[in-house]
Amino acid sequence: MTAPTSGRFITLEGGEGAGKSTQIARLKGKLEQGGHTVVATREPGGAPGAEMVRKLLVEGPAERWDGTTEALLHFAARRDHLRSTVWPALKRGAWVISDRFADSTVAYQGYGYGVDRAMLRKLYSIAVGDFRPDLTLVLDLPVEIGLGRAAARRGSETRYEGLPTDFHGRVRAGFLETAAADPGRCVVIDGTQDIEAVAAAIAAAVHERLGG
Ligand code: TMP
């Protein structure tokens, strides 16, 4: 089940409105300038089947699913994304940048909804196997700033943005605890800085960790 890889798999994580999409576009451009083939993708989604599951997850009322059902849906979408998009791209030698990956399930469904984290690790092993990101960048910023940015950007809320501020506070803590527990894989970036400063911090982390 583990993907044979010659490319690199980079994930960007963070709460709502952390600025991931902007930074992924910047990082993609920078890596392409350096001669890499880059695939930018996202979760939930990133493949036709996974995008269908995404619609179930981000649309509708906040109370539509319980945390365990959501975790199962996210891992189903994730497996399809890996098999259809990520693993083939890595096999071709591309660098893959994903807007969110499994740390989001730990943060949102685990810390946010209180789903048992041992169960999430089992689901990871079933759906993903031994495969891990080479580098995870966590864009961290206070919840109020992120939710404000997300609302201004979309003009409408997704299911998760509609959840209370304390939910998003737990999500933020989840990302930070995950990063602290796995410093070999994760780098926390201060997302309150301006776009240029965040882009520079990301480029420095990628260079230092992966030599890109
Ligand atoms: P996005 O707004 O970054 O596109 O992500 C869609 C929503 O899905 C976002 O609110 C976070 C949520 N999410 C989870 O709850 N668990 C997950 O595993 C993933 C990948 C996303």
- Between the CA of 95 and the centroid of ligand 1 the distance, in Å, is 22
- With CA atoms as reference, report the closest residue to 124 among 88, 166, 54, 178: 178
Decide whether any atom of ligand 1 lies within 6 Å of the 9 Cβ: no
Decide whether any atom of ligand 1 lies within 6 Å of the 8 Cβ: no
Over residues 161-185, the pLDDT tens digits come to 778 899 999 999 999 999 999 999 9
Strand ranges, E, within 91-208: 95-99, 135-140, 186-190
- With CA atoms as reference, report the closest residue to 4 among 133, 130, 98, 90: 90
Residue 37 lies in a domain: yes
Decide whether any atom of ligand 1 lies within 6 Å of the 104 Cβ: yes
What residue numbers bound the domain in which 94 lies?
8-210
Domain with 102 in it: what CATH number? 3.40.50.300
User: At residue 6, what are phi and psi to the nearest 5 degrees?
Assistant: -120, -15
Residue 1 lies in a domain: no
Residue 2 lies in a domain: no
This prediction has a pTM of 0.95
Residue 3 lies in a domain: no
Domain count, the chain: 1
Decide whether any atom of ligand 1 lies within 6 Å of the 22 Cβ: no
Over residues 13-71, the pLDDT tens digits come to 999 999 999 999 999 999 999 999 999 999 999 999 999 999 999 998 888 899 999 99
Residue 202 lies in a domain: yes
Kindly give, in sequence order, each residue whose CB lies less than 8 Å from that of residue 160, ignoring residues fewer than 6 positions away: 16, 58, 62, 108
